[in-house]
Amino acid sequence: MATPLMALVFLIYFFPLHSAGDSSLPAVVDYSILPHALSDHKSLCSQLVLPAGYPCAEHKIQTKDGFLLGLQRVSSRNGDLEKQKGPPILLLHGLFMAGDGWFLNSARQSLGFILPDNGFDVWIGNVRGTRWSHGHSSLSEDEKEFWNWSWEELALYDLAEMINYINSLTNRKIYIVGHSQGTIMSFAALTQPEIAKNVEAAALLSPISYLEHITAPLVRLMVDTHLDTIILASGFHELNFKSNWGTVLLDNLCDRLVNCINVLSSITGENCCLNRSRFDLFFEYEPHPSSAKNLHHLFQMIRKGSFSKYDYGLLKNLRVYGQRMPPEFDLSLIPESLPLWMAYGGNDELSDWTDLEHTIKKVKSVPELVYLENYGHVDFILSMKAKEDVYDPMIKFFKSLGKSSSL
């Protein structure tokens, strides 16, 4: 417990947070809202995809509540972005990550490259607040309201708009691939008929809807000490590990005080197969910002054992929802005809089998399951054997549905 406890003390006192309007806090690394004509050196396409030889185009969409999201469209090396024939597939990243995470393993093991090589029309999603999205139509990142969201809005606004946009351009239903938070978003969104009607199938890596039985020691410690409540009560709204001060502290923490792989294991579970040669590149891009409200919502799920909307407390729940407790997302509303594929790991301490079993009992369809005994939470995107262990079986699942005849 010594390492998690040290890490918790570090988080409480030095976590790079952002309180709207507080100029006394250290300045954050510049990730200004990009202009409509995207600055090439700041785009995901130009940094990670085009240098690898894959055609890539940047797209910007606006959600119903005004957030400007970045989407990237990727084709095979000899493909034409304007004449894509393969089925569209949308990749959804996890918490404190963004779309770059699909390209940070080796080229042969990165899903962002594997899918276009297999003929898919690949779209990379980036939720609000991440550095590849573009702010808000009227709010500044310095305003409290800019960070007033959780995974609920990511599902019902961000994911909904991504699906609508891709569907409008391709006139086809979409395949979804989510990891971690991306699976929470998918589960919640697919309970909404107007969203689910445009989805062909979903593949979920480290699937999460219930979180009651997570065993990750550092996360449990933060939940038990109500770190999320302390952060919100202190007036902080943005969680950003990439502040100038935070970057220096994290570098010193990893180099001099603790092994950061041990801290990672305390958060996610023991990862068996990480490609450690990619760590420098991985941490050059990760983590991305998220909101304190999002963390609080996730911790609510752990404490309550529910898959519900955000809990504002009795009085505000009555005003917002018309009932004392927030309504649950009813997983039985996910269409029985919608094929689901789920891959989970025996060492994943965030996506626990007991919680996944709860999820499976709630959905009407019978998902196809892939169990990887030695995999932890991060292995699903950074394993040296991700293609063979995870992505090849997933692609086989998609191709078996009979909707991928153009592949």
- The residues assigned a catalytic role are 180, 348, 377
Q: For residues 211 and 377, is the Cβ–Cβ distance under 8 A?
A: no
CA distances from 301 to 223, 236, 308, 326 (A): 10, 20, 7, 11
Q: For residues 303 and 248, is the Cβ–Cβ distance under 8 A?
A: no
Q: In the structure encoding, which two tokens stand for residue 200, read together?
A: 């062909």
Write down how long the chain is: 407
Closest alpha carbon to 349 in 213, 210, 214:
214
Checking phi first, is residue 66 left (phi over 0); if not, alpha (psi -120 to 50) or beta? Answer: left
Q: For residues 96 and 219, is the Cβ–Cβ distance under 8 A?
A: no
Closest alpha carbon to 218 in 175, 180, 260, 252:
260
Strand ordering across the sheet containing 121-125: 56-62, 68-74, 121-125, 88-92, 174-179, 199-205, 340-345, 368-372
Helix spans in 278-326 (H):
279-285, 292-304, 314-321
Amino acid identity at 82: E
Q: d(Cα 174, Cα 228) in Å, to the nearest integer?
A: 35
Q: d(Cα 376, Cα 324) in Å, to the nearest integer?
A: 37
Q: d(Cα 228, Cα 236) in Å, to the nearest integer?
A: 10
